[in-house]
Amino acid sequence: MDTLIAPGTGSTWLSSMLITLVPSLVPEQAQDVYFEAVIIITLINLNSALGLRARGKTSETIKPLIGLQPKTARLLRNGVELDVPIAQVDPASAPR
């Protein structure tokens, strides 16, 4: 996304700076400045920062939940309950 936005907003800012600093280089009809491009870049960077923060908090929240995953499963085979490690459970063989 930055690859698409940077050239457009960057060239807009550069042309606005050129018009502001040396207006005689540009025809009078084209002397419009668009410093709003800086606001667009700021909002995009803010969005990226908030997204990274949210992902980080989500990761921190999920880590304790992974620790709550059971280590064994209780299976009923031929009327007898067995505790079996999760790795040995085959969901495909479960009755439907």
**DSSP codes joined into one string, 73-84:** EEEEETTEEEEE
> What is the pTM for the complete model shown?
0.51
pLDDT of residue 63 exceeding 90:
no
Residue at token pair 């990226």: 48
pLDDT at 96: 66
Average confidence (pLDDT) over 20-24: 92
Stronger pLDDT, 6 or 94, i.e. the higher one: 6
Residue type, 95: P
The angle, 0 to 180 degrees and rounded to 10, between the axes of the packed helices 36-67 and 2-21 is: 150
Average confidence (pLDDT) over 16-41: 88
Which range has the worst mean pLDDT, 1-5, 12-16, 18-22, 74-78? Answer: 1-5
The region that residue 38 occupies, defined by phi over 0 for left and psi between -120 and 50 for alpha, beta otherwise, is alpha
